[in-house]
Structure 1
């Protein structure tokens, strides 16, 4: 068990105080010639930007992240990790609303999963435990015992699925068809966590120890200390994929049980499991890589979130041991994600090393966002810096369709957010740069913000006008903004301006994103596949040139669709509707829509796709979009 630190001299105490103020470990503060404030502060700022993007996908009405039940639990726990690590408490209402809104029963399909039996449980035993681990974390964050009681209820439910088949272990599902690594890794972590939080507990400690002993003896941890997926019908290691989340849960389970028992072998095992993963077992060129991250494969909605779970528990190991090897590995993941796996809208993809291919593009959605966010959170030092400075641009991915002559004006707002002591204001300097031949006004300026601590970042905006000449080449152009402030803070952001004379893109690709004005709750499960079920929709915006006199759009579309158009995204006119009950795509066709009557004063047109039979889940699906405009010769 950890022991109390020895008494320190005055110099060491002062170094520790400096570390608290500057967000550095005491040893680092003592040895540093000059405090490097920006490292920890930038880590906080990056995590805040990415967390805000993730929470933009949270559905307040249903109190979850759309279309995935267990992934929602993991995403919410990630936000809890973020709040606990940084002190930013803005998302506590969403945490509690999810608890209160979803603790009852739900019919099958209501939350895009099996029937929910109440208390976040269902036939998928592992799904319930993702929620239990989330509620343990919520208890740690808030101290509210209702969260811990819920985690214990889920554990009591789960215990009924432990039996003597294969000598022990928890079944993966209520049908008792599979004993696997994920369910039993969760069970160890959960039962040990309950023991460590319930005063005087012996019951859950006994369960945790028995679960660990069985897990280690089961053979799922192979000779290389990598965790295969589960057991076959003969109760032997089935040799299936070594997924990162199974490796992470094994580390997390060993750590939590070590806290309960002080057994040094548990901490040693956690290290061996981590070393096996990061020293090549689950990495490519130093970057954590899932089997399905290869350019000729695509990760499904489950695997998109696995790497973040590994990072959560590697963060725990790094914090517990202080081992610089783990800290360095985490820092490399965070830096790689930020530099190679992030778009201008600060969306984080599934391939942390970057890379894409036409058939298997790098995917950006809320699941990949939550996963990569875990790496950014893990990179934040403990304690987190008091000061931080972040910036974003809006719009982050604007489209400009220039007229034949003159310039096209584009407004970009540079958003700035800060944390810091409430004792004095923070003056932020903004500098904006555009491509050669473009004009920005103003190019520099300042914003003065008054921080109120870390619990709620304070925000402001710096608007600029960008003038794009008619001669601007089609393609992507960066407008960059750098913000600076004392003490030694700096952060850079950009708008990725797409100049295009027509729209021509497959859905489900990066080429679609600049045109996707409002994704709402629509989904995209691959190239040429965006759909909106139920009462969801998606909207494309076409900012046609100022000299446009006619325009049209061609949608390759099928299933049960409604297509509406608007000049202002407020007044909508239905132009297409499929009134037949079609669920097999048999009505797939190119539908041509004349947008000329619907051009707004600024020549923009909006196209919205939704579901003509919202009760059955086979809403409009779009494969390809082409939009063109013409101008009368004068």
Structure 2
């Protein structure tokens, strides 16, 4: 996730800030209670915001979310859930782009650490199953048989790894047949049951699902408390390992899909036991919020764990829809509310810990994986029959950093994007009121725009430019500029830009302090504090908006491995100033390198620094640890 993005990704973020919507399928009678309708409409808007932010990280050339293979499958499936739940169909081309580009054979390291064998299969059996479920979701959205056929092809591949000669059954986790675990078998049951429920006269996949469920529930992986441990030891006993939320959720989802196939009431009894165990005092919640083991204050989830809770909520949504149990619906509402109120920034980015907690040593992580995970909770809060009318808004940039001049006022441009869905023929006259901190100027303070929606498959949008005047002498700190939009008595929303005023540039990469300066993260990655790197054809860009009276400037990067450093005054035209010509892999060339930015100060005194990979084909790109910049 990045802030202050260039134009190529801003379209996806225009609705990416605080959003409150109200909407109605038809106008209410006078005096009608709108609270339920408003709540439903708000949930649609929140999910839309989060989906737009997530899709800003989709990389169309490799057709995935860099740089995780199974995580990309789950993120795309989540986008499918979003489209199915809300009626928004804007992301169908990205689903098909991934299907067509990534169904072939690929060497290790191109899209995954493993070789890809074609048809989205690999030695990682669970990875293959995730992709099968993604394509079933695509089939449900489009009814294009090629997606369902691909899911069948993947299931036939996985079927080869069902092995009753060890532990009496179960699907192996890997092609080497080293481990039988909950995730692979939960996926297998859900996959085969979904195939049965979509293939007329099927008996094969129903038999596999029933066989899988009988084995799984008798394997010992479901412990006495009703919680799902990770897998089996070599002696076929439960290993008692961590109860990950996605294993619990997949067990719930597997039982629900098999119940739809058979209507066996015993299945729902088991599903309810699994669900009630998850939300029990000794289950998977802390203060009512779903909490992964790695969400502990002294821990940080790895890139896999970041997405586990979203998988749980995907199948919890199915549980709430199927049972109509208010306890399960209330749990969804609690998660979505906490995410929106506590785990979100002004740019609409959603974090790892849904409670919003974090510390200096273990900050709340924000990336596309955490975005996809939290999005599943927001989708689950959308009613099965969502309202059609909605209104949303966002600021761009939502998190600008400003280095104001000392003796004069500084002007900043902030755009407010307003977005709407509704029946064709509707017209929204939207009044936008903008306001800033005391002593600041925001122009125009009041404006009106007209929106004519054309259904809910493609929201319509217009932007309003605000000129924000920051007085000279404003102390360093974060300041909010807000915009409130209203259309009649039923449609209203608010959004804000959080402007960071700062005079010194010094930060470690991979921390919250880096975020304001990271103008374009592209496909770069960060694996912790003092770590950001760009492999292959990825890069990352820092933007330094120096004060308007700046005469000279420079930046120092602690950098190593196979780097290319480029400078620019506009973020478009680049000059290469340093290239590592030796293929370093392990940081042997780590050093502080200083670059003169003075020739690259743009008309607005901003300078841009881009880091990329000098050997894009071998997997070791430029890595930056610490950044400073000075000016006078």
Q: Is the 8 A contact 1:23 1:385 kept in 2?
A: no
Counterpart residue number, 2:17:
none
Q: In the aligned structure 2, how far is the partner of 1:254 from the partner of 1:608?
A: 49
The number of residue pairs the alignment matches comes to 607
Counterpart residue number, 2:209:
208
Shift of 1:21: 2.6
Q: Is the 8 A contact 2:24 2:389 kept in 1?
A: no
Where in structure 2 are the equivalents of 1:337-416 lying within 5 Å? Answer: 337-416=339-418
The alignment status of 1:545 with 2:547, answered yes or no, reads yes
Counterpart residue number, 1:88:
88
Q: In the aligned structure 2, how far is the partner of 1:381 from the partner of 1:22?
A: 16
Q: In the aligned structure 1, how far is the partner of 2:84 from the partner of 2:469?
A: 43
Q: Is the 8 A contact 1:188 1:212 kept in 2?
A: yes
Q: Is the 8 A contact 1:170 1:179 kept in 2?
A: yes
Q: 1:211 to 1:362 in 2, by over 3 A?
A: same
Q: Per-residue CA shift, 1:7-53, capped at 9, x if unaligned?
A: xxxxxxxxxxxx993699xxxx9x98455322111111111111011
Q: In the aligned structure 2, how far is the partner of 1:33 from the partner of 1:542?
A: 50
Q: Is the 8 A contact 2:484 2:495 kept in 1?
A: yes
Counterpart residue number, 2:140:
140
Shift of 1:617: 1.4
Report the more deviating stretch, 248-257 or 137-146.
137-146
Q: Per-residue CA shift, 1:363-397, capped at 9, x if unaligned?
A: 11111100000000000012011111111110011
Counterpart residue number, 1:16:
none
The alignment status of 1:420 with 2:422, answered yes or no, reads yes
Q: Which has the higher contact order (CA 8 A, sep 6+)?
A: 2
Shift of 1:279: 2.5
Q: Per-residue CA shift, 1:503-535, capped at 9, x if unaligned?
A: 111111111111111111111111111101111
Report the more deviating stretch, 137-146 or 74-83.
137-146
Where in structure 2 are the equivalents of 1:460-479 lying within 5 Å? Answer: 460-479=462-481
The alignment status of 1:231 with 2:232, answered yes or no, reads yes
Q: Per-residue CA shift, 1:109-130, capped at 9, x if unaligned?
A: 1103311111100000000000
Shift of 1:135: 0.9
**1:52 alignment partner, SS class:** helix
The alignment status of 1:129 with 2:129, answered yes or no, reads yes
Where in structure 2 are the equivalents of 1:6-405 lying within 5 Å? Answer: 21=25, 33-34=33-34, 36-164=36-164, 165-280=166-281, 281-405=283-407
Task: Identify the match of residue 452 of structure 1 among 454, 472, 480.
Answer: 454
Q: In the aligned structure 2, how far is the partner of 1:35 from the partner of 1:289?
A: 29
Q: In the aligned structure 2, how far is the partner of 1:381 from the partner of 1:111?
A: 35
Q: Is the 8 A contact 1:23 1:37 kept in 2?
A: no
Provide TM-score, normalisation by structure 2: 0.94
Q: In the aligned structure 1, how far is the partner of 2:246 from the partner of 2:506?
A: 38
The alignment status of 1:482 with 2:488, answered yes or no, reads no
Q: CA RMSD in A?
A: 1.6
Q: 1:429 to 1:289 in 2, by over 3 A?
A: same
Q: 1:192 to 1:23 in 2, by over 3 A?
A: farther
Q: In the aligned structure 2, how far is the partner of 1:149 from the partner of 1:534?
A: 33
Task: Identify the match of residue 554 of structure 1 among 546, 552, 556.
Answer: 556
Q: In the aligned structure 1, how far is the partner of 2:560 from the partner of 2:605?
A: 28
Shift of 1:308: 0.3
Q: Per-residue CA shift, 1:246-274, capped at 9, x if unaligned?
A: 00000000000000111111112111111
The alignment status of 1:570 with 2:572, answered yes or no, reads yes
Q: In the aligned structure 1, how far is the partner of 2:574 from the partner of 2:355?
A: 42
Unpaired runs of at least 5, structure 1: 1-18
Q: In the aligned structure 1, how far is the partner of 2:446 from the partner of 2:405?
A: 28
Counterpart residue number, 2:14:
none
The alignment status of 1:607 with 2:628, answered yes or no, reads no
Q: In the aligned structure 2, how far is the partner of 1:446 from the partner of 1:512?
A: 36
Unpaired runs of at least 5, structure 2: 1-22
Q: In the aligned structure 2, how far is the partner of 1:55 from the partner of 1:319?
A: 26
Q: Is the 8 A contact 1:22 1:37 kept in 2?
A: no
Q: Is the 8 A contact 2:24 2:41 kept in 1?
A: no
**2:234 alignment partner, SS class:** coil
Q: In the aligned structure 2, how far is the partner of 1:110 from the partner of 1:369?
A: 23
Q: Is the 8 A contact 1:23 1:40 kept in 2?
A: no
Q: In the aligned structure 2, how far is the partner of 1:262 from the partner of 1:623?
A: 56
Q: In the aligned structure 2, how far is the partner of 1:20 from the partner of 1:606?
A: 46
Provide TM-score, normalisation by structure 1: 0.94
Q: Is the 8 A contact 1:22 1:35 kept in 2?
A: no
**2:235 alignment partner, SS class:** coil
